Amino acid sequence: MGVISLFDLVIENGVVVNSQGTFEGKVAVRNGKIAALLANDVPVEANEVIDARGLMVLPGLMDAHVHCGHGTPERENFACVSRAAAAGGITTIVDMPLSDPSTVTVETLEGKKASAEGQVVVDYSLYSGIIPGHLDDIESTFHAGAQTYKIFTCRCSNYPMTYDGALLKGMRKVGELGGMVCAHAENDTLIQELVEDLQAAGKNDARAFLDSHPEYTELEAVNRFIFMAGLVPECRAHICHLSIADGVKAVREARGRGMNNLSIETCPQYLALDEDDLIEGGAFVKCDPPVRKREAVEELWKYVLDGTVDMIASDHSPHSFEKKTPEGGNFWTVSEGCTGVQTLLPVVLTEGRKRGLSWERLVQLCCSRPAELFGLSDRKGDIAPGMDADFALVDPDAEWVLRNEDLFYRNQWSPYTGKTFRGKVVKTIVRGSAVFDGGKICAGEGYGTFYPMKIKR
């Protein structure tokens, strides 16, 4: 057999996982794209050859729920979060619109892109949002490439709550255009009533925070969002960071009635951590919705494994150490949000393999399905000819302990610090070039590129 023409890069001898299954072979790259999938015994010439013997070769992961600092430099920035993504095998991030100002106009989108341009080392896309006073901006942001729209059914410290009337109008407009509305689903009134009662009773610890967010406060909002989605079947409706199995069941039941516009995201913290971790670990585990009881974690895993849950994303929402320190022991003063982009893959891989998660299902959850939902599947999320040459090379058997000093975040903390993981990212490649290798970032800031969403109807 003759030698196949020169490639820029060939990855050989690894176990390749893509949307079609798993195989041992070569992946050949030319001009930043996957040029061919070949058997290991096919001779090739390449400028660079990576021997991936003993490694899993995954599509670069996509984290479609990242907060790159909220416009607050002491929290995070694009440089730090993209380096952390690269270290975690993530080659594409999607940034949320919770910024100052909110990223809901073409002008604010362009401003965020300008901010990211000289910082990112992985590729990225941007959310827009539906908030009061900006319904007329939906069409222009859609055509600017931000085709997913975040809404909150509850109050948020730096993003307006979207009331039902504005939500319905916004969903109709997004549905006309072919985009997707993505909900943080919690009932504001129920939560605030509980908070007031608990504070009046002098309760200010982690247990009180959990008691202010019982499962029914999330389930009610999930059901309300499903109802809205039923009124606008042409609008894709995505539930972010779902923490409860009853919410998944509600979506499954709606799908059984023919509602095919619904999708579900959950996060590593709801698959690995529980109420005991919050009570013992404190502020670094505080997030909204909160982590749940251990039995709820196990029930949620069932729907991750059986295909009901569409995707996993980190909801990386960092804060400074100061904001994660209770004032006078008062847990109410602690800001909500967990770091998570760098640990998404090791957490899901470690916890998932304890429960029978396959490599193929992992790729669906963290690569191919997010790319499909967020309109990037023409180039991201799979290992196939014509796709971007984005890869995460993973040592499946490496055991290691997470240390704060290993984190690339602006604020080096994690709810998983001190925990042992099985499976470690050894190299991350974006469009044919290594961005992370051997524990170090090896791409210059600004290597990452913005890609507009192209959601398929």
CA distance 60 to 205: 40
CA distance 243 to 73: 29
Quick check: 100 pLDDT over 90? no
Inside any domain, residue 159 = yes
Inside any domain, residue 19 = no
pLDDT band at 155 (very low <50, low <70, confident <90, very high): confident
Quick check: 365 pLDDT over 60? yes
Inside any domain, residue 423 = no
- Structural domain count, the chain: 1
Quick check: 128 pLDDT over 60? yes
Quick check: 310 pLDDT over 90? yes
Taking only the tens place, the pLDDT of each residue in 426-454 is: 999 999 999 999 999 999 999 999 999 99
Give me the domain span that covers residue 224.
Answer: 61-373
Answer whether the bond into residue 289 is a cis peptide, omega within 30°.
yes
Q: What angle do CA 64, 163, 199 make, to 5 degrees?
A: 90
Length of the chain: 457
Q: What angle do CA 383, 271, 204 make, to 5 degrees?
A: 140
Inside any domain, residue 32 = no
Write down the H helix ranges in 64-105: 78-87
CA distance 368 to 144: 23
Inside any domain, residue 119 = yes
Computed from CA positions of residues 54, 51, 369, 445, in that sequence, does the dihedral angle turn out positive or negative?
positive
Q: What is the DSSP string of 313-366?
A: ---B----TTTTS-BTTBGGGSPP-B--TTTHHHHHHHHHHHTT--HHHHHIII
Q: What is the DSSP string of 100-111?
A: SS-S-SHHHHHH
| CATH code of the domain covering residue 286 | 3.20.20.140
Burial class of residue 287 (count of CB atoms within 10 Å of its CB; 0-12, 13-18, 19+): buried
Taking only the tens place, the pLDDT of each residue in 51-79 is: 999 999 999 999 999 999 666 777 889 99
Mean pLDDT of 142-154: 97
Inside any domain, residue 82 = yes
Inside any domain, residue 35 = no
Answer whether the bond into residue 346 is a cis peptide, omega within 30°.
no
Inside any domain, residue 402 = no
